[in-house]
Structure 1
Amino acid sequence: MLEIDDVAVRYGPVTVLDGLTWSAGTSGSAVTALLGPSGCGKSTLIRAVAGLEPLDGGTVRFDGADLRDVPTHRRDFGVVFQDGQLFGGRTVASNIAYGLRIRRWSRSAIRERVTELLELVRLADFATRRVDDLSGGQAQRVALARALAPRPRLLLLDEPLAALDRLLRDQLATEIAEIVRAAAIPTIVVTHDHTEAALMADSISVMRAGGIVQSAAPQHLWNQPRDEWTARFLGVTTVLDATIVDGRADTVLGPVALDRSDGPVTLGLRPESVRAQMIDGDGAVAGTVGAVADLPTGRRLRVRAGSVELDAMTSAPVVVGDDVALRIVADRVAVIG
């Protein structure tokens, strides 16, 4: 387990991390995502764990051992950065073998390990290919193989897919998650992308302004964000106050069944939490369409219903100015707090 206790990191007068306490790599969480907006301190934290940034306070422990006086190359952690940082002009095999040569592995052991890793990252025929000739996705898989080669105790991935296009990012996120689980190495991946975190991680920790806000399994995090900031960061666009009585919350958009104790509650709605249909006269709350966007995931509307303005999804051929019936989708509602 990685344990971080009261860690502080400063760049001159700027404090990036201050009193941060966090743990990762517990049983059942092979991959942990560190998720947060740009500038919140994610990369600084990973660099501090790797020993690339000195601590101004606190401790970093791995398997109970304090790492403060352990230099970077002695920590046995693998690191992959956004740009991969491959050695240009060299072959794929040479890049993967780099850390093994530094550790004075025998030639036969290096050949065997490189071959094994090329199979693992699905680049078996690329050993003699120059890394300058690789695609972005191939280059990141080579960087991952190089980091895995010495069998590190912990793998740190710092925004490894940020430079790739959306389709390739989703594909490679799934592949990398499969690869690191097959390698049986605990992994921390830094990202600002919710989908990437969900595709890769068993556990997600949300970071804000140098601190950890909430850590949970993905489904729990989406359904029960700790506070409104976390909910909105995770895609909630509308926040409603409601009161639950006998398992039903009464809201301005009508009742919704929720398995919660009676009392006041704050609900978070994402666009997919509300379905819009043509008015059918069955008592649903009505709203007026103010904007329409046709997205790959469906038609998204901006709707005003009384004093509330919210996002909704629909398959109906509505246009701006149409009145629509709104219904909350109970299993897509987040309960905040």
Structure 2
Amino acid sequence: FNIPQPLERKTKLGDILSGIEPLFVDIEHQVQKDLFGETIPQRNMSLSNNNGFNDYFLFNDLRNGHSTVHSWDIIDTTDRQKTICYLLLKNRRKSIYGKLDGNPLSLEHFKSLDSSVTQEELNELVNINILKREEYCFTVSPNRETRLTEEENSVLKLNFVNRLIVDDLKNNRILKLKKINIKKTLSSLKQKNIIKCDEIRYDFKNTKISTGLFGINRIFLPSSNIFPTLVASDSNDYITLKEIKATSIEDYKSQFIEEIYKKGNYRKLTKNETCIIQGFPEDFILPGSRARWMKLLGNSVSVPVIEMLGKAILKTGVFDMEKEIAIY
């Protein structure tokens, strides 16, 4: 069996959307640096270009690439507020701040990184919906006369020196097996005055990578020769018909935000476009409701890919009735 060779010419998203010819930005490879002056490593990813002029923009507060749009890029913020956000972004995954892959930081943590950070500044970032407060540590009262539920007892058994730490609870295997809702159980224990929060930490309000920001995960440009996997439940991925021509990474991102995002020059794929991507005829008969036709196309497979694989299998002669197939 020989795997089919890829096509010599890759179809651009613009060919499917409107047949426009994407603009080619010719720029020398540049070493890009972040806000802290550190080099941003180049990655050879399927959706990313080495020169940073990616064919899509990712809406996410947990990543920091050339074409990543953060909530503080969209919400009106000062340079100082942006600096604090980048401070959290750069340090939240460090193990010294917790056992999780991403950890909230306390005011003391922020001050250890930048002594000028104030409580008022963190409060303001919470007020404009970029950060959120999280109760991280709790003191356990020795008096437990109140009747407790099984879930509450399971959580309290994990206290160490009359303290409960959220990280320990989230990582505990027993609580996971029992499917205990940690947040709900802690809230119940607080109402019964059995525990009291003694440490507040701060994290980004939007911490789910797949959901993106403000209902958008990614927006793809017409020059893209790839589009994410179509799923039955639809997705938060969008396309734009507008091109961007820039001479620097900063201008590239700025143009996208001002000309495409803020002006609403983006939309979801239409039914016909989705059919073309999956290899169906444009006039393929499907239900009128987006939810119904997206479920059918999302659960389908790419027709041309299956056709090429089928032909490759036939070439092996496995279905040739004239050949004798030895059975062992």
- Per the TM superposition, whether the score is higher than 0.5 is no
- Of Structure 1 and Structure 2, the greater strand share is in 1
Higher relative contact order (CA 8 A, sep 6+): 2
**The structure with more radius of gyration:** 2
TM value normalised by structure 1: 0.28
Q: Give the structure-2-normalised TM-score.
A: 0.29
